[in-house]
Structure 1
Amino acid sequence: MNVPPAPLSADPAAAVDWARVRADFPVLTREVHGKPLIYLDSANTGQKPASVIEAVDDFYRRHNANVSRAVHALGTEATEAYEGARGKLAKFLNVRADELVLCSGTTFAINLVAYSWALPRLGPGDAIVLTRMEHHANIVPWQLVAQRTGATIKVAELDDRGDLDLEGLRALLTPEVKLLALTHVSNVLGTVNPVREICREARRRGIVTLVDGSQAAPHRPLDIAAIGCDFYALTGHKMSGPTGTGVLWARREHLEAMPPFIGGGEMIKEVRFEGTVFNDPPHKFEAGTPNIAGFVGLGAAVDYLSALGMARIEAREQALLDYATAALSAIDGLRIFGAPKEKAAVISFLVEGAHAHDLATLLDLEGVAIRSGHHCAHPLMQHFGVPATCRASLAFYNTFEEIDAFAAAIDKVRRLLV
């Protein structure tokens, strides 16, 4: 298997050759419509360093076999690589490896909790609290559970800056609330929620908490044990790993008590027609052949991010965000949505007189890749009274020169549209 990159200095302030880091990402060297690619859609999916691509390639070329099935050499190597990725993720998140369910991503992870934890426990009179800024993946599963159980959904609102109304949220945490599900970082506004404080408040009231960490895991140091939630979900492809990979962390007592979500091979100890004895967690929730190569690649992504240092990544992206916010704020007619107290490197915006999709299409012709639409956050769009926004999401492999070119491209296409 591939050797992970050597760690940099432990000092977050240590100098990093960001041009060298950028060179690790092959796709960033290409052109689009005859222009150098400026990729500003990392909240949608993160780009992959060569070490991740090579790890997946190496697995298929040299080690391809199923996991936990065979005693031959390839089967042993595949199992060691797959479980090795679980171990790397556990260290990255500061949790126990046997509390990590490997799955296809945050959507699957939240549905697992919805159907295996919530559905057997909730009933009429119970309530689930969500926030206005949630991704649809952290809304729709709870609506389906509520419909089937008779539970209700309560919504915590935002203030004018795009911060969660914490007083309003506390007021919602009444005795009938059994679950609070919220995002760590908003995929639209970049709002960083104080999840540690919120989970502490919920825990005092006996309320179970689920945190969607999709937009946090790629961009900031994580310590799930310190957050104090009951469930934490994340997606591998946003943190420079392959698509179709993700993690659900859950407290061991929940994993022990929850019934399986999907039945099949690997999640059993013994099957008889009279009944089945299920495997121990987390394997109880990992039926069938997993995305082995994908998790080998995700393990390589964890190696890469860890070697670079999440504190350095966070600092780099904050500098890029500050620069981009100033550059976009200087453009006539451009409105940025949200100015929360703590913000990740996401900027949602509109230009007066221009439709979001038209703006994004013309920017693509300039080589600039951004997202336009509702960003799987219809309730948040409704809050701001708009059908869609443009979204530029930055990552550590972006540059200040790209931001200059992005701002110039907006000004150019703005003149064509308004």
Structure 2
Amino acid sequence: MMTQLDLAFVRSQFPAFSEPSLQGQAFFENAGGSYACQPVIERLTAYYRETKLQPYHVHPASQKAGNAMDASYKRFAQYLNVDEADIHFGPSTSQNTYVLAQAFANILQSGDEIIVTNQDHEANSGVWRRLADSGIVVKEWQVDPQTGLLSPSDLDLLITPKTKLLAFPHCSNIVAHINPVKKICEKARSQGIVTVVDGVSYAGHGIPDIGELGTDIYLLSLYKVYGPHLGVMVIRNAVAEKLGNQSHYFNTAYRNKWFVPAGPDHAQIAAAQGVLDYFEQLHDHHFEPSESVLERAQRVRTLLHDAEIALLQPLLDFVDQHPKLRLLGPVDASQRAATVSLMHTDMDSEVLAKRLVEKGIICGAANFYAVRLLEAMGIDADKGVLRLSFVHYTTPDEMTQLIDALSEVC
């Protein structure tokens, strides 16, 4: 029996829903950054108020700061089902991938091959393509220009004995199709290929069990998962050892500093675990107690997914059946995340977005750093698409407000 999400409880955990200036405004740009939950705000405020000094030194306040940071590493590792040493907090996913690519440049040789896609956000594409300047052969796993989807069978035509790395998204931030990550990673692993999965557009809909997915490297952005503006990068131990320390030479003994050359943001790392505080509160409010972190994580993951799917399908059906709207990505909600990109036959996306904003719909129109994908689908990247993205805290009334607004302006 499916557990029903208690929306009143959920929304009570997000101060934005009590903000007077946002009343009546339905938030549909979560793919660009979600609202922050109360536990994150409280932890961040407490850090700045109580422990805003260098952590890990001898003063009790400094020790408290370090302990809070350590707790975030430990708790995220448990929730993601990886080793604590695999967790790296950086300033953003774009910055994390840049450092990562520079690290790979030191161990790859001229003639080695890497595979990228034209479905990705540029953060997990451009940094790898630049390695061609060093003699690395870059191959592109291309989307179907009609659907924007990737076909795993196409990989067989790209992989050779020289292939060393495969970078692809968990799901696109435009077409939102959820790629079969586990299957793709298994294929790559069988041939000794390192996988780098961009999970930024997926994680806000349910932080995944990375151990189960089997990827070597996984990327997500906490500011799209109800948290502070941090990027989380999971790098499995064997890969990290090959890449080596990218930070100051004297940080070799501190694995969590290896891939953050500029140093960590102490306060935001300490506050990051507030996301997991929220998920734990969600679990305890909806389910019987469980000693297993992985069981609690899976229950919450399913809870969020089921809540979104129930709202997503009617929106997809409306857009798909509208004579003047083009839906990008699958019309079946079970195949995608709750990010819906569309185009109007007679109206620029920015104009459409402005008209929706006048109806109380918070949304955006742009290329959303997926220029290569839009170009592959024959879409003018300068004009972009309208993107409507929501998460579990969106209400049925807000979905009605959105569909009514689309009906009026289209």
TM-score between the two structures when normalised by the length of structure 1: 0.88
CA distance in 1, matches of 2:318, 2:23: 21
Unpaired runs of 5+ residues, structure 1, are 1-10, 270-277
CA contact (8 A) 1:360 1:370 kept: yes
SS class of match (1:282): helix
1:400 and 2:396 correspond:
yes
Structure 2 letter corresponding to 1:113? L
Aligned: 1:106 with 2:89: no
Matched, 1:284 2:258: yes
Higher helix share: 2
**Partner amino acid for 1:146?**
A
Partner of 2:290 in structure 1?
none
Partner of 1:15: 4
Residue from 112, 122, 147 that aligns with 2:108: 122
Q: Identify if the C-alpha distance between structure 1 residues 382 and 284 changes in structure 2 by more than 3 Å, giving closer, same or farther.
A: closer
Q: 1:39 to 1:194 in 2, by over 3 A?
A: same
Q: Tell me how far 1:330 sits from its aligned partner.
A: 4.3
User: Where do 1:264-283 residues align within 5 Å?
Assistant: 268=250, 278-283=252-257
Judge conservation of contact 1:67–1:289 (CA < 8 Å) in 2.
no
| Aligned AA (1:55) | R
Q: Alignment partner of 1:129: what SS?
A: strand
Q: Is the 8 A contact 2:107 2:243 kept in 1?
A: no
Is 1:150 the counterpart of 2:116 in the alignment? no
Give the secondary-structure state (helix, strand or coil) at the position aligned to 2:76: helix
Say if 2:273 is the partner of 1:304.
no
Q: Residues 324-335 of structure 1: matches in 2 within 5 Å?
A: 324-335=315-326
Distance 1:163 1:196, change over 3 A: same
Please report how far the alpha carbon of residue 326 of structure 1 lies from its aligned counterpart in structure 2 after TM superposition: 2.4
Does the 8 Å CA contact 1:92/1:306 hold for their aligned counterparts? no
Name the CA distance, whole Å, in 1 between partners of 2:331 and 2:324: 21
Structure 1 CA distance, aligned partners of 2:263 and 2:310?
42
How far does the alpha carbon of each residue in 1:58-90 deviate from its partner, in whole angstroms, 9 at most, with x for none? 11122222223x111011000000110111111
Per the alignment, residue 304 of structure 2 pairs with: 313
Give, in angstroms, the shift of residue 260 of structure 1.
Answer: 2.9
Amino acid corresponding to residue 41 of structure 1 in structure 2: E
Query: Aligned equivalents of 2:393 and 2:126: distance in 1?
Result: 33
**Aligned-pair CA distance for 1:355:** 0.2
Compared CA separation, residues 146 and 306, structure 1 to 2 (3 A): farther
Question: 1:345 deviation in Å?
Answer: 0.5
Q: Report how many residues are paired.
A: 387
**Counterpart among 72, 78, 81 of residue 65 in structure 2:** 78
2:244 is equivalent to residue 259 of structure 1? yes
How many angstroms apart in 1 are the aligned matches of 2:351 and 2:48?
41
Q: CA deviation at 1:195?
A: 0.8
The runs of 5 or more residues in structure 2 that have no matched partner are: 283-299
Please say which of residues 166-175 and 350-359 is displaced more in the overlay. 166-175
Cross-structure match for 1:413: 409
Matched, 1:383 2:369: no
| Residue aligning to 1:41 | 29
Amino acid at match of 2:37: P
User: Contact 2:247–2:257 (CA<8 Å) still a contact in 1?
Assistant: no
User: Aligned letter for 1:64?
Assistant: K
In the TM superposition, structure 1's runs of 4+ consecutive aligned residues that sit over 6 Å from their partners are none
Give the Cα–Cα distance (whole angstroms) in 2 for the partners of residues 67 and 128 of structure 1. Answer: 39
Task: Please give the alpha-carbon distance, in whole angstroms, between the structure 1 residues aligned to 2:270 and 2:302.
Answer: 24
Q: Does residue 212 of the first structure (1) align with residue 198 of the second (2)?
A: yes
Match of 2:355 among 331, 355, 362: 362
Q: Residues of 2 paired with 1:280 and 1:207: CA distance?
A: 27
Deviation at 1:204, TM superposition (A): 1.0
2:379 partner letter: V
Q: Matched residue of 2:167: which SS? A: strand
| Structure 1 residues 193 and 36: CA distance shift in structure 2, 3 A | same
1:344 pairs, out of 337, 343, 363, with 337
Separation in 1, partners of 2:401, 2:171: 27
Conservation of the 8 A alpha-carbon contact between 1:158 and 1:164: yes
2:149 pairs with one of 151, 157, 163: 163
**Cα shift at 1:329:** 3.3
Query: 1:161 and 1:144, CA in 2 relative to 1: closer, same or farther beyond 3 A?
Result: closer
Does the CA-based 8 Å contact 1:183-1:211 persist in structure 2? yes
Q: Deviations over 1:356-395 (max 9, x none)?
A: 0111122112221112111100111012211211110111
Identity of aligned residues (%): 28
One-letter code of the match for 1:119?
A: A
Pairwise CA distance, 1:51: 1.9
Q: Measure, in 2, the Cα distance between the counterparts of 1:40 and 1:171.
A: 39
Compute the displacement of 1:55 (Å): 1.4
The structural deviation recorded for 1:40 is 0.5
Give SS of 1:216's match.
helix
Q: What CA distance in whole angstroms lies between the structure 2 residues aligned with 1:95 and 1:252?
A: 10
In structure 2, relative to structure 1, the CA distance for the partners of 1:340 and 1:128 (3 Å cut) is farther
d(CA) in 2 for partners of 1:226 and 1:312? 19
| 2:369 paired with 1:373 | no
Match of 2:181 in 1: 195
1:67 to 2:83 alignment: no
Q: CA deviation at 1:208?
A: 1.0
Please, which of 70, 74, 79 is the counterpart of residue 92 of structure 1? 79
2:163 aligned with 1:183, yes or no?
no
